[in-house]
Amino acid sequence: MPRLHLSAPSLSKARIASAGLRSAVITITALCAVSPVSLRAQSYDATIKQGQALLAREMLHEAFLVASAAISMDNERWEGYALASLALAARGEKADAIAYVDKALERAPKDKAATLREVRAKLASPESVRSQQADSDARRKRDALTIIVDEADNAKSPESRIQLLREFITKSTGFTDADILITRAAVAIELDYPKLAWCIAQQLVLSGAHRSEDPKVRRVFAHLERRGWIEEMGTRDFSATSLDDIHKQALDGDLEALEWSAISHELGNEHIEKNLDLAVKWYERAAEHGSPISMNELGVMYLHGKNVAQDHARALKLFKTAAQCGYPRAMTNVLVMYRSGLALDLGAAEALQLGEGAARLGDAFAMMLVGLIYASAPDGLRDDARALEWLRKAADLGEVKALSRVGAFYKLGRGVPADPKIAFHWLLKAANAGDGDVYCIVADMYRTGEGVAVDLAEAKSWYAKAAANGSSQAAEELDKLKD
């Protein structure tokens, strides 16, 4: 296996935006666009432009050094202080960044001062403070991952390397950066974690990283494709491994052995008697070591109170973490909890952000749930056209309840112009597929001729089916037709 590598921490445009600094970047860049005045001014301006170029390339330390050089050249001009402030803010050094903005304000002309005050307000805002703290925490965690990888690459024994790689998997759980995901995939391949590798592959596919021409990415995907761990979830073969050895591997933190132990105790097999108490313990341990499958199964247990105290909040937390780790079933479970009203602290936007991946990966049930959430979401997020698009995809894949939803959209004119004929087509398909909720609607349409020629015999037939299904309204309509 080639040496692993994590690129050095950098400040992405997304991080700048999340720290409330994107407008500061644009503002200071625009403000610093000065024109040459003298030989000295030209040199100063050239230095400022060099610093801006370094900042644009996210070379923050170098940008700060160049800004400092500009200040040394002329400490009465404001642009160097402004540039230094931005470099410091991007590095998460808020207090120093504000101090440099203040120095820029002392020197800036009146037409620049108002904009600089706005920049200072953004840097000092509570939201900026929280975002920068989050960035700082993320950088520390990322730095720790880099150290683990370096130690693994320089490990003196295979056993030490394996323990360090297992530690990396545990501590990198929840990261969605493409370079960390690629490293996680490489580690999962080396440790022979097919289920985790498959989940990471789903994350990479959803992010579009699988289309990268980066040689490191191509190597990882070649490994995944060779093992068939992209299209289908694999599993390690323990048939030739003794039970004692499996448990030893599990206790040593081997993810596949932990998952095998948890599932075996939950379901029972020829080697292990069913024991839900032990299953919970093994799932807990596997989840702690970064297994999205175990997080999801444990979430199901807490959702239904299966051998644990029912805890919807704990279930949702487990589903969310597993979804962030690329497990499609967990993504769907997030959607289910939201639609069921069991995720009280989960908004529609977050539910879609976490759950739409399962739909994009081809889960018909998730497609239907995504469509229903778009159809019922609060103003600003509600989108009938997008809802119908997902419902139609689910219906085309045979999701029965989606058939009737598509019919309802055409009947009511939601997301498309109302069209009774198309509505009847979909509603009849749903009824023929066994969706009892639409029997009475199809009967009504046959009786009134909405979207189809009047056919009282068909109407009676569908009313009878609806009545047998428990519909009192259908029973009444059937009696009327008999008269």
List pLDDT tens digits, range 121-131.
887 776 655 55
Share of the chain above pLDDT 90, in %: 58
pLDDT for the residue numbered 273 = 92
Distance between CA atoms of residues 26 and 412, nearest Å: 46
pLDDT for the residue numbered 14 = 35
Distance between CA atoms of residues 443 and 455, nearest Å: 9
Q: 151 with 164: CB under 8 angstroms?
A: yes
Quick one: pLDDT band at residue 7, thresholds 50, 70, 90?
Answer: very low
Rounded to an integer, the average pLDDT of 3-15 is 37
Residue 377 is which amino acid?
A
Quick one: pLDDT band at residue 11, thresholds 50, 70, 90?
Answer: very low
How many of the other CB atoms lie within 10 Å of CB of 49?
Answer: 15
Distance between CA atoms of residues 388 and 385, nearest Å: 5
Comparing 7-21, 397-411, 459-473, the range with the smallest average pLDDT is 7-21
- For 198, half-sphere exposure in the C-beta direction (CA atoms, 13 angstrom radius) is 20
| Average pLDDT score over the chain | 86
pLDDT for the residue numbered 130 = 58
Quick one: pLDDT band at residue 136, thresholds 50, 70, 90?
Answer: low
392-430 in b/e form (b: 16+ CB < 10 A) is bbbbeeebbbbbbbbbbbbbeeebbeeebebbbbbbbbb
Distance between CA atoms of residues 207 and 324, nearest Å: 12
- Predicted TM-score (pTM) of this structure: 0.71
Rounded to an integer, the average pLDDT of 317-329 is 95
Quick one: pLDDT band at residue 54, thresholds 50, 70, 90?
Answer: confident
pLDDT for the residue numbered 61 = 78
Residue 198 has pLDDT above 50, yes or no: yes
Quick one: pLDDT band at residue 194, thresholds 50, 70, 90?
Answer: very high
Q: Which long-range contacts (CB under 8 A, 24 or more apart) does 403-410 make?
A: 403/427, 403/429, 403/430, 403/433, 403/435, 404/430, 404/435, 404/437, 404/438, 405/368, 405/371, 405/372, 405/375, 407/438, 409/375, 409/384
Residue 16 has pLDDT above 60, yes or no: no
Rounded to an integer, the average pLDDT of 85-98 is 81
pLDDT for the residue numbered 17 = 38
Q: 400 with 433: CB under 8 angstroms?
A: yes
Beta strands in 166-317 (DSSP E): none
CA angle 160, 163, 166 (to 5 degrees): 150
Residue 332 has pLDDT above 80, yes or no: yes
User: Which token pair is 238?
Assistant: 């323990």
Rounded to an integer, the average pLDDT of 450-466 is 95
pLDDT in tens, 295-321: 999 999 999 999 999 999 999 999 999
Q: Length of the chain, please?
A: 483
Rounded to an integer, the average pLDDT of 82-102 is 84
Q: Evaluate the CA torsion angle 258, 262, 267, 273 in order and state its sign.
A: positive
CA angle 338, 343, 348 (to 5 degrees): 45
Q: Which long-range contacts (CB under 8 A, 24 or more apart) does 333-337 make?
A: 333/296, 333/299, 333/300, 333/303, 335/366, 335/369, 335/370, 335/373, 336/369, 337/303, 337/312
Count of helices and strands (H, E) across the chain: 26, 0
Residue 77 has pLDDT above 70, yes or no: yes
pLDDT for the residue numbered 297 = 96
